[in-house]
Structure 1
Amino acid sequence: MADVIPPQESYIRRPKEVRAHLQKSRAQRSRNFAVVDSTGSWMERWRNQFDALAIPFLRSHEMMHPDAFDHSTLSVWAAAKSRNDFLFLENLPKDKAYHGPFVLPSNRMMLDFCRDLVKLGGLDKRIWPAHAESMRPSACGSGIEVSLRTAGDTLQTVLANHVVVARGPTWRRQWPAFYKLLDAAALAEIRHTWDLFDKPEQVAALRGRGIIVGGGLSSAHLCTQLAGRGHIDLLIRRERKVKQYDLGLSWMGWKRREQRREYEQASIEERLAKNRAARDGGSVSPELDAEVSQLEAKGLVAVHEWTEIATASFDGSWTVALSTGDVMEADYLICATGALVDAATDPLLSGLQEVHPLPMHGGLPAVTYNLQWGKLPVYLMGNLAALELGPDAVNMTGAARGDSLMGHGALAHAGQLRGRLLCSLHDECFGYSRDGPLQGMNPRACLLWTQSGLTGHGHGGGLWSCATKILAAEPRNCTSSAPVMKDGIPVEMAPEIWCGCSGAFSRGPWGLVSVIAEQFATFYCELGMIAPMLSWAEHCSGPECGCSVE
């Protein structure tokens, strides 16, 4: 398929067109959708993650950003704002295999850029706090019923004709094998990096000698941040891996088209193997590896390759027995070991699997070419769709590709082609807020829940937050009656509405969303779970269709 993020030399639009896009005022017509995020604000989860690890620059280059208008938007925006917060990469080969980009944006600049994009799309007032717990095919014969839990711990069921499940690494932390052997005292003290992301202030409280488990960016950033407070032992279960991006350059340089063609022609088993080989577990960038090496030379950090924890116990401090036979003492123990992705045991998808089971391969469902769950109006993004999207499923390129694939299938399924909404959001926390959203909007026509998934910084550049480009679209004949709200969730709706929705993700155990398009926005979100989606609508004739909200 077409190259979704072209090389540096081939710009889609001229800089003056991009500047005009960034300066264009958007008419604030009612766009019947809302973004549900557990924190009640844009990019909060991403901020927490970068704050917890004190990450100054993203791992992804300047062309990987949330605005789909043009891949040069960030660079043009930076020039217009007289911002030069870029890090030039010294370790990338400058040859035929890779022609750039060679610069990384700073975290602060990306936050400011995304904030402007949110304002550009008029999305700053569209956040709706809640999370999705389960979903099932609707009893009315079409659509999907989704159970949402609100800040007041109230469970509501809402209906969407189409749902896109797009969430980043789930709340299901992946632990090393020794975790199952821990007693209650040790379980109360052990930490996962996600605990630190949920509460960044915990990092400031860490003092003394520490043990960190993991070989990716999270573990390396923790080393650089904590080494000044006490000696750090970094345990990596295999060799130390250093590479600029989480994917090999062959998937990002000129050979990526050839790689993509081969991938699309491969069997599912071959694709699974290609995905694992291309990502190949955790790695650190050359720049970060140099910082860790300097700490090693000063005696502040010791890196132990091919080393795992056999057993561990806590009695005021940690006593850890290693696979090498050595024993270590530590004041704290952190596992930077990522998340578990297994659709077969995913609470959000289990109801669908019972009704319409899909073959599973390595925990991933065999979705259709258009990322659809069989014939059900449910679409998957991110890691869950990796068998179709490829090894960059959780990166920006995977998000853009998913938009294209999903759009053709979803619009065909809905029988309409009115425009498109590509959206991705993030934030993985549970916190809810009652500020609320959706005033004057018809919820059944415009629900959007999001799980802001996340991982981020660690694998491929950090979680990209939602930004948008409003595209022209034919207005919809949606009712404008305001919904009756309870705990921020609509509980009564006017019957004559456009009840078709597309969706994205939510917090919760799992995420998802639902959206209807009167106007269409384009979002991108990297890592964590990129949640692109298309929006379409089907007309519901009101009470006659039997659809209801419990």
Structure 2
Amino acid sequence: MTSNDDGYERTNFKKKHFQFPGRSNSLRQFLLILLSISWMTSTRRDATIIAFNPARITHTSTINSLSTCNTITTNQRDVDVDVDNDESTNIIIKVPWLIIGGGIHGVHIAASLIGKGGIKATDIQIVDANESLLHKWKSRTAATGMEYLRSSAGYHLDLDEHSLRRQFGVDTGNAAVGNIKGAGRKKSKKNRKKNVSLQGITSNDVFAKDYERPRLDAFNEHCDSVITKYNLDQLHVQGIVTSIEPKEGHVKVMLSLLSEQKKNNSENEIGGMISYTYKAQNIILALGNDEPSYADWVDEKDIEQGFVRHILEDTQKRSGEKVRDHDVKDVAVLGGGITAAHKVLELVRTNDSTTRTNCSTLKRRIHLISRQPFKEQQFDTHQDWMMDQAASKRSEEGGGYGTPDRQKKFKSSTCWKERRKMIVKERVAGTVTPAIFRGEGGLCYAINNGDIKWHHAEVVKKRYIEMDMDEDENVNDNYNNIDATTKRSTQKRRIQLSLSCGNTIEVDEVLLATGFGKKLPGGKLIKDLVKNFDLEVSDFCGFPIVDENLSWGSKGIYVAGALAELEIGPSARNIAGARLAAERILKAATKTKA
């Protein structure tokens, strides 16, 4: 299939050339295509493969004038186009595998199905509300200010465990794919190639000295290479899933479109809303975490006016009254974990960079508020929880212990309440790594040097205060000569926080680094699925009860990420959890294929 500038996508049937309609096509052209396809179907003529990509289908209000149901059948996928007089268009797509969620878990599982499972890329679709795969991952990690990941180089989105190392020139010797022997060891400089990647990053500065933790930009570059390698961006459809209904032989998934078609609709180029109905043989729910968690004292006004912002809320935008821009911008970061630590250290680096560039610029004051003292821990779960089944088998065959005791104990428990308690105990929230706390330029030194003012406290009260411009260091000398109306317009508002330790601070912005909520990911979508179709969940926490291959019931529904916690354990949400989930789903996929 090829595209050209006149809005057509062209394919051929037995060397007969046809064009799918673009925005400028007339009703006559569209009907001609349908008649041609019907003629070929009736004469049983073979058709060449059509690489169907829903994201590239375009429709016009002309199509909406039809009152028929048209079905286009290819030897890859069946596509039913339902067009009604009520100016709504519904496209029915039959697909073997539908992945809901284009984050870390969704992308790695898709790559595994193609690369290891032998499933054709054309048999997979990835639905995600964002404009590109991994959008939330990239925007959220960038917002934290992190420089290096917490996990080591063996945890990434490609299939070969050493793929990330090799991309940036680390000599892994004759290590077999998936062989974890020696993983995490430091590589001597003589064993490192001075290889340069596409963006000029060399192996010597890609990985941290401890645990070979990859630099964020290098990790993201590797993620992009995985997406390109398996053409996953071509499988992405931007939209929001509105309902999931298990049926006999397939799962019906309703999708509200968010890509180019919907944008055109807002410009009246499409008569009505376009929706997709997927008839999927299997769906994978890779929905990520619950929504970001907000402190109780925060209200909508704080957010709308730009005084309070959650670091992990990537779609949040300031609106309404905006905090006045000025040289000194005092910030309070609320949180006691690694996200808060990353953010305040980024602010310190920005301060240092700004003052070096302009010596007359005053440093911003940085406050860090946390309820608990800082706790050091390298990973948020023990490494035993990250070992996959293949590695456990290799360990056992080589005379090792095999499956770690933690995993054995977890698997042997048939009490879902007990499993949840083990997850809570083993997944330690609110910790920072030794490198972040005591490493070069670490948090404890920034606090001791006065670059960060740490408050061991909670926020007990907040209020807004008005500050005249003559109280600001950068106010114009003519301020006292202006009239009252103009003076009111130049007043600056700040937010005042009263803390449980007795301190009161005034800042221009509060950044929340309070993590995610603990509710069931997917919200109403998953709750309705459970309620309407009697899918089994834990009475204690409400999370899915699935089998060892992460199958939820016998209806072709699989889960990953947080939804798979009761089967995978504490590491289910991490990058390691994505690899664990893919391994299990792959077993079910190969059985189904066989």
**Which TM-score tier does this pair reach, normalised by the shorter chain?**
0.5 to 0.7
Q: Which residue of 2 aligns with 1:342?
A: 519
Aligned counterparts, 1:146-165, within 5 A: 146-151=254-259, 152=262, 154=273, 156=275, 157-165=277-285
SS in 2 for 1:146: strand
RMSD, aligned α-carbons: 3.4
Q: Cα distance 1:59–1:205, how it changes in 2: closer, same or farther (>3 A)?
A: farther
**Could you report, residue by residue, the CA deviation over 1:393-442 in whole angstroms, capped at 9, with x for unpaired residues?**
01233222222333444665xxx325xxxxxxxxxxxxxxxxxxxxxxxx
Shift of 1:373: 2.6
SS in 2 for 1:118: helix
CA distance in 2, matches of 1:250, 1:28: 31
Shift of 1:346: 1.5
**Could you report, residue by residue, the CA deviation over 1:88-108 in whole angstroms, capped at 9, with x for unpaired residues?**
445xxxxxxxxxxx2112222
Aligned counterparts, 1:408-419, within 5 A: 408-409=587-588, 416-418=592-594
Q: Which residue of 2 aligns with 1:178?
A: 297
CA distance in 1, matches of 2:334, 2:311: 10
Q: AA paired with 1:148?
A: S
CA distance in 2, matches of 1:251, 1:393: 9
Q: AA paired with 1:257?
A: P
**Could you report, residue by residue, the CA deviation over 1:294-331 in whole angstroms, capped at 9, with x for unpaired residues?**
221221212233x2212223342112122334322221
Q: AA paired with 2:514?
A: T
SS in 2 for 1:376: coil
Aligned counterparts, 1:254-265, within 5 A: 257-265=404-412
Shift of 1:250: 5.0
CA distance in 1, matches of 2:237, 2:323: 29
Shift of 1:155: 5.4
Q: Is the 8 A contact 1:191 1:334 kept in 2?
A: yes
Shift of 1:351: 2.1
Shift of 1:381: 0.8
Q: 5+ residue gaps in structure 2? A: 1-114, 170-192, 197-201, 266-272, 352-362, 388-399, 466-492
Q: 5+ residue gaps in structure 1? A: 1-23, 91-101, 419-550
SS in 2 for 1:104: coil
SS in 2 for 1:125: helix
> Relative CO higher for 1 or 2, CA cutoff 8 Å, sep ≥ 6?
1
Q: AA paired with 1:43?
A: L
Q: Which residue of 2 aligns with 1:488?
A: none
Q: Which residue of 2 aligns with 1:327?
A: 504
**Paired residue for 1:220, among 331, 341, 347?**
341
Q: Does residue 309 of structure 1 match 2:459?
A: yes
Aligned counterparts, 1:504-543, within 5 A: none
Q: AA paired with 1:298?
A: N
Q: Which moved more, 1:248-257 or 1:57-66?
A: 248-257
CA distance in 2, matches of 1:137, 1:242: 45
Q: Which residue of 2 aligns with 1:284?
A: 432
**Could you report, residue by residue, the CA deviation over 1:219-264 in whole angstroms, capped at 9, with x for unpaired residues?**
1111012232422221222221121122134545898712111111
Q: Which residue of 2 aligns with 1:58?
A: 149
CA distance in 1, matches of 2:278, 2:236: 17
Shift of 1:174: 1.0
Q: Which residue of 2 aligns with 1:166?
A: 286
- Give the number of the structure whose alpha-carbon radius of gyration is greater: 2
Aligned counterparts, 1:119-518, within 5 A: 119-138=228-247, 142-151=250-259, 152=262, 154=273, 156=275, 157-170=277-290, 172-179=291-298, 182=299, 184-185=301-302, 188=305, 189-195=307-313, 208-227=329-348, 228=351, 229-251=363-385, 257-266=404-413, 267-290=415-438, 291-305=442-456, 307-315=457-465, 316-343=493-520, 346-355=523-532, 356-360=534-538, 361-409=540-588, 416-418=592-594
Q: Cα distance 1:78–1:196, how it changes in 2: closer, same or farther (>3 A)?
A: same
Q: Is the 8 A contact 1:214 1:236 kept in 2?
A: yes
Q: AA paired with 2:311?
A: T
CA distance in 1, matches of 2:462, 2:155: 41
Q: Does residue 71 of structure 1 match 2:161?
A: yes
Q: Is the 8 A contact 1:49 1:197 kept in 2?
A: no
Aligned counterparts, 1:107-122, within 5 A: 107-122=216-231
Q: Cα distance 1:161–1:281, how it changes in 2: closer, same or farther (>3 A)?
A: same
Q: Cα distance 1:185–1:242, how it changes in 2: closer, same or farther (>3 A)?
A: closer
Q: AA paired with 2:313?
A: D
Q: Is the 8 A contact 1:232 1:301 kept in 2?
A: yes
Q: Cα distance 1:164–1:330, how it changes in 2: closer, same or farther (>3 A)?
A: same
Q: Is the 8 A contact 1:52 1:197 kept in 2?
A: no
**Could you report, residue by residue, the CA deviation over 1:45-68 in whole angstroms, capped at 9, with x for unpaired residues?**
333234333322221111111111
TM-score (norm 1): 0.60
Identity of aligned residues (%): 22
- The number of residue pairs the alignment matches comes to 373
SS in 2 for 1:74: helix
CA distance in 1, matches of 2:152, 2:121: 35
Q: AA paired with 1:241?
A: K
Q: Is the 8 A contact 2:288 2:521 kept in 1?
A: no
Q: Which moved more, 1:245-254 or 1:71-80?
A: 245-254
Q: Cα distance 1:288–1:203, how it changes in 2: closer, same or farther (>3 A)?
A: farther
Q: Is the 8 A contact 1:341 1:383 kept in 2?
A: no
Greater share of residues in helix? 2
Q: AA paired with 1:52?
A: A
Shift of 1:190: 1.6
**Could you report, residue by residue, the CA deviation over 1:443-474 in whole angstroms, capped at 9, with x for unpaired residues?**
xxxxxxxxxxxxxxxxxxxxxxxxxxxxxxxx
CA distance in 2, matches of 1:35, 1:169: 18
CA distance in 1, matches of 2:519, 2:500: 28
